[in-house]
Each structure stands twice: as C-alpha cells, then as structure tokens.
Amino acid sequence: MSTARWIDITLGALLVMLGIWGLMLAGPPSFGVFPFNTLSGAVILIAGTVLLGGAVDTETAKSAAGLIGVVLALTGVTGLFSQLLFGLIPPSAWTTWLLILSGALLLYDWLDAPAGPTHDPRRPERGRRSSCRPDSQSTFVLRERVSTLHQRQASNMSV
C-alpha cells in the first residue's frame, strides 16, 4: 500500500471517529480539549469520509489529501487570528493545532509522499514476472559478463 493511501486511511479513520464523537457529544469539549457543535462535528465527519473514500488508489488518495489538506490548513491558520472558526466553534489551541498539523500532513501527502514501494529489477517479486526493463548500463554489463564467460569456456575447451 502506498504512503499516500496509508496516510489517508489513518487520518480519515481518526477524523471519522472524532466527527462521530463530536456529533454525539455536541456542546462540551470532546476529550476535554476539542469543543464541538453539530455542524463542526458533521464537517469533520465529512472530511474523514472523503479521505477514506479517496483511498481507493494512490492518485485518488493524493487528490483527496490535497483538497482536505488545503481546507484543514486554512481553517487552522484562520483559527490563529479569529475568535470563531467561520462562526462554527471558538478555536481552542488544541483545535487550531490539530487542524494545522492534519492539514500539513495531508499537504505533504498530496505534494511529496512517495508513490509506494520501489521495485528493484534485480529482485523480481515472487510469483510475478518482472516487467522492468534493464537500462543501457546494466545491458552493457550483462553483455560484458556473457562475453567473458564465453571466452573462459572456449579457453577451457582448447586445453
């Protein structure tokens, strides 16, 4: 599984759980630090659902991470300078930093996360044929080794 999909599934599951928790306990701060009302719980639940739904493949995961990452990061930065996050909730320091860090992680996922495990052409996967083509340098080295082997075999036969 690619890093992008792993990040989306993990953060999406956490946001879905936090959103459900916020919907169930709208009013008092969840875990004593995250204040929720019904609308903010629904928004976080939708964000987590988009991330989980986008994790079907790497490209979709990166797109979902970009969309939700920009929204979370901008909302978190807005919370640094505002008394109400878009009229939804009063931003606590925990909420603001949760939004900023989640947004930053998703922006990393969108912009720079590795696509997945790299394939080493020298070690094909078990049960599959390698579809990697050798580059010109490895082809040259292979030809040189085969030529050396043929020369040794010819000299052994003549002795």
Burial 20-33 (b: 16+ CB within 10 A, else e): ebbbeebeeebeee
In a domain, residue 120? The reply is no
In a domain, residue 133? The reply is no
Structural domain including 32 reads 3-111
Question: Concatenated DSSP letters for 112-157?
Answer: T---S----TTSPPTTS---PPP-HHHHHHHHHHHHHHHHHHHHHH
In a domain, residue 123? The reply is no
- Residue 47 identity (one-letter amino acid): A
pLDDT of residue 1 exceeding 80: no
In a domain, residue 136? The reply is no
**What is the distance in angstroms between the CA of the first residue and the CA of the last residue of the chain?**
56
In a domain, residue 139? The reply is no
Number of domains in the chain: 1
User: Tens of pLDDT along 74-84?
Assistant: 888 887 887 77
User: Tens of pLDDT along 31-63?
Assistant: 666 666 777 778 889 999 999 998 888 888 888
